[in-house]
């Protein structure tokens, strides 16, 4: 399955879940908005943190969503790769495997 297909599937699943638990979905969305808009770090930096965590905890749907956000925020492949190196350092071998997936996702979605 391509990363574009995975992203589409993730969004479809989230829409389905949001319809089933609308109050929770709205609250989670408000939390995300608050975190991304407030604080000291800029949006792109926060998305880099989210991507690093996504790799370390091995969440493919998270990788696709945060990689897409980073592409839209103007992240370069070199910046993304630097974050992936840090995620590998923190997460070891399993993070190495998911970092490869994240770079593959970036390459496909930014093409």
Contact between residue 93 and residue 58 where contact means Cβ atoms under 8 Å apart: no
List CB contacts of 36: < 8 A, sequence separation 6 or more: 43, 46
pLDDT for residue 38: 86
Contact between residue 68 and residue 90 where contact means Cβ atoms under 8 Å apart: no
Q: What is the DSSP letter of 41?
A: S
Question: pLDDT tens across 71-82, in order?
Answer: 999 999 999 999
- Whether this model's pTM surpasses 0.75: yes
User: Measuring CA to CA, which residue among 69, 65, 70, 68 is closest to residue 82?
Assistant: 70
**Mean pLDDT of all residues belonging to the chain:** 95
Residue with tokens 């990363």: 3
Question: pLDDT tens across 89-106, in order?
Answer: 999 999 999 999 999 999
CATH code of the domain containing 31 = 1.20.1290.10
What's the number of domains the chain is made of?
1
Residues of the domain holding 7 = 3-109
* Number of neighbours of residue 103 by Cβ within 10 angstroms: 17
């Amino acid at each position: 399955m391509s990363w574009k297909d995975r992203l589409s599937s993730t969004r479809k699943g989230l829409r389905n879940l949001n319809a089933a638990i609308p109050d929770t979905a709205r609250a989670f969305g408000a939390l995300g908005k608050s975190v991304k808009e407030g604080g000291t770090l800029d949006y792109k930096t926060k998305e880099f943190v989210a991507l690093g965590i996504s790799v370390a905890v091995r969440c493919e749907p998270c990788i696709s969503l945060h990689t897409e956000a980073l592409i839209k925020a103007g992240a370069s492949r070199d910046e993304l790769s630097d974050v992936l190196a840090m995620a590998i350092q923190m997460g070891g071998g399993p993070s190495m495997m998911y970092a490869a997936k994240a770079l593959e996702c970036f390459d496909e979605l930014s093409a």
